[in-house]
Amino acid sequence: MKTALNPIPEAKCLELMRTVEIICDKAALTLHHVAETLFNGMLLVVTRYKPNTHDLRELKKLLITVETECLCVFLHAKDVEKRRFELLHKANVSARYVKEFSISVESFVWLAERKRELKKVGEMFCEVKIAGFVDA
């Protein structure tokens, strides 16, 4: 016997959407910390130095000077990509202290995909670099 699905009331849909947005806003801080850790890990393997900064722009700049392959992860080919990276950069402080901080679900998903790509590139890069230490 088939039962008809009851449509979700519009008010409930709006409430669920707002809940997802709030989760994305809070998760953006964690995403910032993960990106920072990945940048720092790669820098530590290459330079044996971990800068004392939380500034993703600075970490990215330092990393690109020693490993250009990481440039492709956050390339900023389009303005929207640059804005999204800036949101990630600002999340370290804004997601905690600025009530108006907000990140769209679409931007969060894009940044999470970039983070996965950065992790993949970082793992390959570090494995090769560390293997070179052992062979030396």
Hey, how many other C-beta atoms are within 10 angstroms of the C-beta on 3?
5
Q: What is the pLDDT of residue 40?
A: 94
The mean pLDDT values, 10 residues at a time, for the chain of 136 residues are: 69 84 91 94 90 92 80 78 92 90 92 92 89 78
Q: What is the pLDDT of residue 115?
A: 92
Q: What is the pLDDT of residue 84?
A: 93
Contacts of residue 62, defined as CB under 8 A and 6 or more positions apart, other chains included, come to 39, 43, 51
Dist CA 38 CA 116 (whole Å): 10
Q: b/e map of 89-123 (b: 16 or more CB within 10 Å)?
A: bbbbebbeeeeebebeeebbebbbebbeebbebbe
For each of the domains in the chain, give its residue range(s) and CATH number, in order of start.
Answer: 29-135 (1.20.120.330)
Q: What is the pLDDT of residue 2?
A: 59
Q: What is the pLDDT of residue 35?
A: 93
